């Protein structure tokens, strides 16, 4: 929270994040971290766990905003609290030491966090499968696809990087790789489901 930074209202935050405004994201992140950190520490968590849970929570929020599918019926703060609370509850039950008991009050607000989290979990699974598929596809497909889809490099750049004679060759290679990725991805995804 440096000096001279603009402070946003909740609506402005949402609008700014939709515009891909990184400063707004950073400010939002800083604004609510102490609350979640305090909460996790109060409920037998560590600083690192607080960070993980909070980042996951912010990610859920961020992706909803970017999707445009966020229907915020409460403050961002409450939403984040509800999401992080759920996430932490899940982790605690995994640890099983406290049987998932939390020393707090359930916010009786319709935050929509529950449903959002289920969607997010489904998405996590999907993305996890994608990561595995990418791991197994092998070079040079992996670098090529990562370069194009993850790092947003242009075909020309990639052509130069991988030493293809022209962009069409690179493109053809990319499509072959995509087909392989598709097979790996769907095989694994179906296995998991």
Partner 1 sequence: MKTEADYYALFDAYRSGGLAGEERTTLEHRLAADPELARRLQEFEEVTGTLTAYGRRLALRRKLHAIHADMDAEQAVRLTPLAKVAEEDERHEQFANGRAPRPLLRISRTEEKLRAFWHGHRATMMVAASVAVLAVFTTLLGLEMYRTAQKPSLYGYTVLRREVERIKRTQRNMNRALNQMDTPPTEKINPGKFSGTGFALTADGYLVTSYHVIQGADSLLIESRDRQRFRAEPVFTDVAHDLAILQIKDKSFKGFGKLPYSFKRGQSELGERVYTLGYPREDLVFNDGSLSARSGFEGDTGFYQISIPVNPGNSGGPLLDDRGNLIGIISGRQMDVQSAAFATKSSYLMRLVDSLGTAGAGKPYNMSRTNQLAGTSRPQQIRKLQDYVFVVKVYE
Binding site for partner 1 (CB under 8 A): 1-3, 22, 25-26, 29-30, 33-34, 38, 41-46, 51, 55, 58-59, 62-63, 66, 98, 103, 123, 126-127, 130-131, 134, 145, 149-152, 171-172, 175-176, 178-179, 181-182, 185-186
Shortest Cβ distance from residue 37 to partner 1 (Å)? Answer: 9
* Nearer Cβ to partner 1 (93/182): 182
Shortest Cβ distance from residue 106 to partner 1 (Å)? Answer: 18
* Nearer Cβ to partner 1 (115/131): 131
* Nearer Cβ to partner 1 (73/93): 93
Shortest Cβ distance from residue 6 to partner 1 (Å)? Answer: 13
**Secondary structure of residue 33 in the 3-state scheme:** helix
Shortest Cβ distance from residue 108 to partner 1 (Å)? Answer: 24
Question: What is the DSSP track for 163-176?
Answer: T-SSHHHHHHHHHH
Shortest Cβ distance from residue 32 to partner 1 (Å)? Answer: 11
* Nearer Cβ to partner 1 (86/174): 174
Taking CA atoms, 122 is separated from 30, 74, 126, 135, in Å, by 27, 24, 6, 20
Cα 174 to Cα 172: distance, rounded to the nearest angstrom: 5
* Nearer Cβ to partner 1 (21/161): 21
Taking CA atoms, 190 is separated from 34, 127, 145, in Å, by 40, 14, 22
Shortest Cβ distance from residue 147 to partner 1 (Å)? Answer: 10
CB-side neighbour CA atoms (13 Å) of 117: 19
Cα 54 to Cα 87: distance, rounded to the nearest angstrom: 9
Cα 52 to Cα 63: distance, rounded to the nearest angstrom: 16
CB atoms within 10 A of CB 138: 11
* Nearer Cβ to partner 1 (22/110): 22
């Amino acid at each position: 929270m440096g000096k001279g930074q603009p402070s946003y209202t909740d609506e402005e935050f949402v609008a700014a994040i939709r515009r891909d405004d990184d400063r707004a994201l950073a400010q939002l992140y800083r604004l609510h971290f102490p609350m979640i950190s305090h909460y996790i520490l109060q409920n037998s968590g560590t600083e690192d766990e607080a960070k993980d849970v909070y980042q996951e929570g912010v990610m859920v929020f961020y992706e909803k905003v970017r999707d445009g599918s966020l229907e915020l019926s409460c403050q961002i703060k409450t939403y984040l609290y509800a999401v992080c609370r759920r996430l932490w509850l899940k982790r605690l039950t995994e640890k099983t030491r406290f049987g998932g008991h939390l020393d707090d009050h359930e916010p009786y607000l319709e935050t929509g966090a529950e449903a959002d989290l289920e969607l997010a979990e489904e998405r996590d699974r999907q993305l996890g499968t994608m990561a595995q598929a990418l791991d197994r596809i092998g070079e040079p497909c992996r670098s090529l696809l990562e370069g194009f889809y993850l790092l947003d490099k242009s075909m020309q750049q990639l052509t130069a990087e991988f030493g293809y004679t022209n962009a069409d060759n690179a493109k053809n290679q990319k499509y072959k790789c995509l087909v392989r990725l598709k097979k790996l991805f769907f095989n694994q995804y179906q296995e998991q489901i």
